[in-house]
Amino acid sequence: MQSSRKAIGETLLKVENVTLSFGAVKAIQDVSFEIRRHEILAIIGPNGAGKTSMLNVINGAYHPQHGIITFKGQPRHDMDKHEAAAMGIARTFQNVALFKGMSTLDNILTGRNLKMKRGLFAQMLYFGPALDEEVEHRRKVEDIIDFLEINAIRKTPVGRLPYGLQKRVELGRALAAEPDLLLLDEPMAGMNVEEKEDMCRFILDVNEEFGTTIALIEHDMGVVMDISDRVVVLDYGRKIAEGTPNEVRRNQTVIDAYLGVSH
């Protein structure tokens, strides 16, 4: 694709034989795949295929009954959400999960909380180390605000923003953590064509400029085929196909299970 892109490298995250069930309902059954450094991986599948559950397993929100997840060479069975964040996994949500009472700026700054180390006493004084730290991180956050072109809404409480902008702020908050792996759960759901184009551009830019590895769930097949390097297809909690967009498009199982039915 683009020449400036970092070459897709070794495995960043490996999911092996993951099974997750809620009581009698099997959300994910024996799924394995891997995400490679600097790539954009799309996870697709019909509603209820287990896509969001898969993301939840990867960032520790759900604990699978079986399986091993290896991130940056460290295998684990399950972990806490904030541990995952500390290791460099950030995500956005299907239904925007912003902090509604806070401004755009504070939302994105909160994304950098993990990197802010000043303790209680320094912050009580405010002037001195805490202020230095605050300003240093503010600079980084302002870069992200510039990058996402949301300067005008810097101080607006996010609860008042339209849906499309909220999604953008949420992406900003995830980026603020400078993650190695960025999980996007339907980043373009409910957007119009222009907003989708903008969001696509941001995703590609993030991948290109920062080299961030991205795994995303998306229903719009045009977008998936356009921006992703590889595609994993889930259906009823099982992986039914994996490959480049072109391979998946031609895969008969996928057509039967998904594309053939709904399109």
Partner 1 sequence: MSQAAWRNISIGVSGFIVLGLGALVIANPGKIFFSWTFFFEVLIGGLLAGTLYSLVALGFVLIFKASGVFNFAQGAMTLFAALSLVRLIEITNSILLSMALTVVIMMALAYVIERLVLRPLVNQDVIIMFMATIGMTFLIDGFGQLVWGSDVYPLNLGIPQDPFEVQGVLLNQFDLVAGAVAALLVAVLAVFFQKTRIGRALRAVADDNQAALSVGIPLRHIWFIVWTVSGLVALVAGIMWGTKSGVQFSLALIALKALPVLILGGLTSIPGAIIGGLIVGAGEKLAEVFIGPLFGGAIENWFAYVLALLFLLFRPQGLFGEKIIERV
Partner 2 sequence: MLYRDSGQFKSTYEDDRAIFPIAQDRYAMLALLAVAFVAVPILGNDYWLRSIFTPFLIYSLAAIGLNILTGYAGQVSLGAGGFMAVGAFSVYNLLVRVPEINFILALVFGGLVAAAVGALFGIPSLRIKGLYLMVATLAAQFFIEWSFTKFPWFTNYAPSGVISATPIDMFGWKVEESWERYVLALAVVTAMALVAKNLVRGSIGRSWMAIRDMDVAAEIIGIQPMQTKLLAFAVSSFYCGVAGALWAYLYLGTVEPVAFGINTSFQILFMIIIGGLGSILGSFLGAGFIILLPIFINIAGTGLGLNLSTAFISHMEFIIFGSLIILFLIVEPHGLARLWQIAKEKLRLWPFPY
In the complex with partner 1, which residue's Cβ is closer, 50 or 245?
A: 50
Among 30, 36, 94, 114, binds partner 2 (CB under 8 A): 114
Is residue 154 within 8 A of residue 161, CB to CB? The reply is no
Alpha helices in 116-220 (DSSP H): 120-125, 129-147, 163-176, 193-205
In the complex with partner 1, which residue's Cβ is closer, 15 or 148?
A: 15
Is residue 27 within 8 A of residue 58, CB to CB? The reply is no
Instruction: From 66-74, 103-111, 200-208, 217-225, give the range in contact with partner 2 by CB under 8 A.
Output: 103-111
Would you count residue 168 as binding partner 2 (CB under 8 A)? no
52 binds, options partner 2, partner 1, none, Cβ within 5 to 8 A by partner type: partner 1
For helices 104-111 and 163-176, angle between their N-to-C axes, nearest 10 degrees: 30
Would you count residue 9 as binding partner 2 (CB under 8 A)? no
Q: Which long-range contacts (CB under 8 A, 24 or more apart) does 132-140 make?
A: 137/109, 137/112, 138/109, 140/112, 140/176
To partner 1, the closest distance from the beta carbon of 61 in angstroms equals: 5
Number of helices (H), then strands (E), in the chain: 11, 10
Would you count residue 140 as binding partner 2 (CB under 8 A)? no
Partners of 74 in beta bridges: 71
In the complex with partner 1, which residue's Cβ is closer, 61 or 68?
A: 61
Q: Which residues bind partner 1 (CB under 8 A)?
A: 52, 56, 61-62, 80, 93
Is residue 72 within 8 A of residue 87, CB to CB? The reply is yes
Among 7, 24, 25, 124, binds partner 2 (CB under 8 A): 124
To partner 2, the closest distance from the beta carbon of 258 in angstroms equals: 28
In the complex with partner 2, which residue's Cβ is closer, 19 or 94?
A: 94
* String of contacts with partner 2 for each residue 37-76, x by CB under 8 A: ----------------------x-x---------------
For 154, counting Cβ atoms within 10 Å of its Cβ (0-12 exposed, 13-18 middle, 19+ buried), the class is middle
In degrees and rounded to multiples of 5, residue 114 shows phi and psi of -60, -30
Among 17, 73, 75, 97, binds partner 2 (CB under 8 A): 97
> Shortest CA distance to 232 belongs to which of 27, 39, 66?
39
68 binds, options partner 1, partner 2, none, Cβ within 5 to 8 A by partner type: none
Would you count residue 163 as binding partner 2 (CB under 8 A)? no
Q: How far apart are the first and last CA of the chain?
A: 27
> Shortest CA distance to 110 belongs to which of 182, 181, 174, 166?
174
Q: What share of the chain is helix, strand, coil (3-state, %, to 5)?
A: 45, 25, 30
> Which residues are at the interface with partner 2 (CB under 8 A)?
59, 61, 80-82, 84-86, 90-91, 93, 97-102, 106, 109-114, 116, 118, 120, 123-126, 130-131, 134-135, 138-139, 142, 173-174, 177
